[in-house]
């Protein structure tokens, strides 16, 4: 695993909801169907087994294009911590190359910490490549701005879901 700090992606986002509610939005197919994924895609859960060693397999559709993704959950500490690897996948949840020209790492390890103060929850998200080549690591570093926009849009969808 690559661990150098310059290869780590970091993002914080504040939600106007208690951390138990924010954390639970990651734990059910109903919730994930409502908010997970890039803003420009329609997403649906294929399988969710929310436990360490479990999987979240999902389908993303946009402008007639279909792709799949998966999380493999590593550590779940309710309301405080969520760790998983994320990858593009096929219909059977096997890891595949990203469906675009940039050769990013096939898997990325994410850690989400949930901190609450005054009824607001901050998610502190960090991500880093898993078993990536130097070229894949360089590509990961090069897309940090895009990742910030992508997660920002996804977390805005989560904020709207939590407000309902």
Joined together, the tokens standing for residue 17 give: 């909801």
CATH at 52: 3.30.530.20
Task: Tally the domains of the chain.
Answer: 1
The span from the CA of 19 to the CA of 102, in Å, is: 35
For every one of its 164 residues, what pLDDT tens digit does the chain have, with 9 covering 90 and above? 334 447 899 999 999 999 999 999 999 999 999 999 988 889 999 999 999 999 999 999 999 999 999 999 999 999 999 999 999 999 999 999 999 899 999 999 999 999 999 999 999 999 999 999 999 999 999 999 999 999 999 999 999 999 99
Whole-model pTM?
0.93
Joined together, the tokens standing for residue 87 give: 């990858």
Q: What domain range is 46 assigned to?
A: 5-163
The span from the CA of 88 to the CA of 139, in Å, is: 16
């Amino acid at each position: 695993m690559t661990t150098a700090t310059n290869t780590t992606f970091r993002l914080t986002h504040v939600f106007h909801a208690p951390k138990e509610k924010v954390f639970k939005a990651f734990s059910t197919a109903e919730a994930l169907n409502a908010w997970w994924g890039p803003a420009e895609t329609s997403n649906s859960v294929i399988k969710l087994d929310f436990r360490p060693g479990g999987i979240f397999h999902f389908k993303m559709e946009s402008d007639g294009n279909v792709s799949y993704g998966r999380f493999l959950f590593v550590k779940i500490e309710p309301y405080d911590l969520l760790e998983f690897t994320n990858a593009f996948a096929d219909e059977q949840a096997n890891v595949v190359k990203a469906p675009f020209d940039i050769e990013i790492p096939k898997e990325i390890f994410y850690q989400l910490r949930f901190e609450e103060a005054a009824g607001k929850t901050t998610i502190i998200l960090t991500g880093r490549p898993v078993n990536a080549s130097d070229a894949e690591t360089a590509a990961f570093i090069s897309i940090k701005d895009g990742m910030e926009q992508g997660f920002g849009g996804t977390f805005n969808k989560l904020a709207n879901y939590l407000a309902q």
